[in-house]
Amino acid sequence: MNLDIVILAAGRGTRMNSNIPKVLHQIGGDSMLGHVLNAARKLESEKIHIVVGYAAQQIKTEFSSDKELQWALQEEQLGTGHAVMQAMPNIDISKPEKRVLVLYGDVPLTNFSTLRKLVQQASENTLCILTLLTENPKGLGRIVRDDSGEITAIVEEKDANDEQKKINEINTGIMVIPATKLNTWLNSLGNNNAQGEYYLTDVVAMAAADDECTICAMVIDDENEVQGVNDKAQLAGLERQYQMKKAEQLLEAGVLLRDPSRIDIRGEIETGSDVEIDINAIFEGHVTLGNGVKIGPNVVIKDSKIGDNANILQGTNIDGAEIGEGASVGPYARIRPGTILKENTKIGNFVETKNAIIGKGSKASHLAYIGDAVVGENVNIGAGTIFCNYDGVNKHKTIIGDNVFVGSNSVLVAPVTLADNTFIAAGSSINCDVPADSLAVARGKQRNITGWKRPTKK
């Protein structure tokens, strides 16, 4: 496709009242600029150019993994036309069919399908504008049409007269422009306007005056698609719109949401049939929920796979883990990266796991830490048990066989192996391997002192 994309991301966003560049503020777990790039990449353009200014290096660092991005610097923010000028030296204007799509790094929710349709309408002699019909055009550039309905100009509100301010078709700023003509028009821009800036919108009047150029408009009525963000209130508003759209997609897929307005998806989620999600659940990164999964209230799941019929109870936090079929986790459990829970395991309240494989049917019902371990099948880990995996320098592994019983308040000092069918007496500190079918008792001998009196306060 003979298309280059220019994304304008040079502004600071002073109304955001933040040291973070405006385009790096997040919606749905990704930066606004990230959302724009995700849509742009789907268009299969030849090059994507990002025009940066404020905190340029911070933005470039954020996207440093994408080596194909082209960067242009706008040292002074002198308007949208001036911003596009900075990218033009890297755009091959020798191809008559080359077009330039202009996007904005603070307009994050424009659908790929909308952009694709807009691009398809453009040609080497056609400038296409995405416009919006709105009941509240205040503060926005108006689309000016002649008596025959043809677009003749875009007028910014500060430069509009009273009659033009009544127009309810507004400019979204998104347009596709023939590259060769764009280069010529940009070189003719002036800044004789209320803001003293070089407006990109002025090229529309130049196109209207060009006998070889036609102007087309693609009109939409979904304001959220083209809503820009200038302050935290607008950011919060778009966040909620984004989340409601994600919730609607889940409902359409058959997921039972106890309250669609109280779910946050900050990444991608795949769901099977008969999934139930209670209130205030948060999903980050890539999450897969199998058939019949139940997610309790206030659960956070990140980059994890939840198997069929698993039950994730209230307040549980799961990160980088694989939860097996029929497992029960929580309430208030913390499942850290590297955890694999096999079928029908049970991890109860205030249990923490990390880099642990826990076998089929095994359980730690409450108050335990299981780190750097391989646990067999049908193992019981009592309350207060700690896998002591760190010696202050290195991590060590605990290996537990099948059908092992670990009594409450035990400490397993790694590296250590508990063979099949072993029994660890409550309160033991185990630092040596335990052979199969053995009882291990490692605690001080109890002494009862008769006639003992408590200290008294002096």
Please give the helix or strand (H or E) that residue 274 lies within, else none. none
Active site residues: 366
CA atoms of 331 and 60, how far apart (whole Å): 41
Terminal-residue alpha carbon distance, the chain: 90
Q: Taking 80 as the threshold, does the pLDDT of residue 433 lie above it?
A: yes
Reported as a single tens digit per residue, the pLDDT across 78-125 is: 999 999 999 999 999 988 899 999 999 999 999 999 999 999 998 888
Task: Encode burial over 6-23: b for 16+ CB neighbours within 10 A, e otherwise.
Answer: bbbbbbbbeebeeeebbb
Residues 6 or more apart whose CB falls under 8 angstroms from that of 427 comprise 407, 408, 409, 410, 443
Q: Which residues contact 246 (CB under 8 A, 6 or more apart)?
A: 28, 263, 265, 269
The residue whose two tokens read 């769901």 is 271
Q: What is the DSSP string of 276-333?
A: EE-TTEEEEEEEEE-TT-EE-TT-EEES-EE-TT-EE-TT-EEES-EE-TT-EE-SS-
Residues of the chain with CATH 3.90.550.10: 3-226
* DSSP at 390: B
Cα–Cα distance, 348 to 334 (Å, whole number): 10
Rounded Cα gap, residues 416 and 422, in angstroms: 13
When mean pLDDT is compared across 14-28, 191-205, 235-249, the lowest value belongs to 191-205
Determine contact, residues 365/348, Cβ cutoff 8 Å: yes
> Is the CB of residue 206 less than 8 Å from the CB of residue 189?
no
CA 423 to chain centre: 46
Distance separating alpha carbons of residues 231 and 16, to the nearest angstrom: 5
The 8-class DSSP code of residue 164 comes to G
Cβ–Cβ contacts within 10 Å for residue 161, how many? 9
Q: Could you read off the pLDDT of 62-89 as tens digits, one per residue?
A: 999 999 999 999 999 999 999 999 999 9
Q: From CA 395, how far away is CA 392, in angstroms rounded?
A: 8
What percent of the chain is modeled with pLDDT above 90?
A: 86
3-226 folds as Spore Coat Polysaccharide Biosynthesis Protein SpsA; Chain A (3.90.550)
DSSP-assigned states of every residue in 51-103: EEBTBHHHHHHHTTT-TT-EEEE-SS---HHHHHHHHGGGS-TT-TT-EEEEE
Residues of the chain with CATH 2.160.10.10: 232-440
Length of the chain: 458
Cβ neighbors of 367 (< 8 A, separation 6 or more) are: 349, 350, 351, 383, 384
Percent of the chain past pLDDT 70, that is, above it, reads 100
Helix (H) or strand (E) run with residue 347 in it: strand 346-358
Cβ neighbours of residue 192 closer than 8 Å, sequence gap 6 or more:
none
Q: Is the pLDDT of residue 10 over 90?
A: yes
pLDDT grade for 138, boundaries at 50, 70 and 90:
confident
Mean of the pLDDT values across residues 172-187?
95
Q: How many CB atoms sit inside 10 A of residue 441's CB?
A: 12
Q: 102: which residues sit within 8 A by CB, 6+ positions away?
A: 5, 6, 8, 80, 84, 173, 174, 175, 176, 177, 200
Question: 277-297 burial by CB neighbour count: b if 16+ within 10 A, else e?
Answer: bbbbbbbbeebbbbebbbbbb
**Cα–Cα distance for residue pair 124/24, rounded to 1 Å:** 34
Residues 357, 373: contact at Cβ < 8 Å?
yes
The whole-number pLDDT of residue 1 equals 65
- 264, two tokens: 């946050």
Overall average pLDDT of the 396-415 stretch:
98
Could you write out the DSSP letters of every residue in 167-220?
--EEEEEEEEEEHHHHHHHHTT----STT----TTHHHHHHHT-TT-EEEEEEE
What integer pLDDT is reported at residue 321 of this predicted model?
98
169-178 and 99-104 as β-strands: parallel, antiparallel, unpaired? antiparallel
- Predicted pLDDT of residue 323: 98
Helices 112-121 and 32-41, axial angle in degrees (round to 10): 50
Integer angstrom CA distances of residue 52 from 68, 142, 154, 375, 411 = 16, 26, 25, 52, 55
What are the pLDDT digits (tens) for 330-379? 999 999 999 999 999 999 999 999 999 999 999 999 999 999 999 999 99
Give the CATH number of domain 232-440.
2.160.10.10
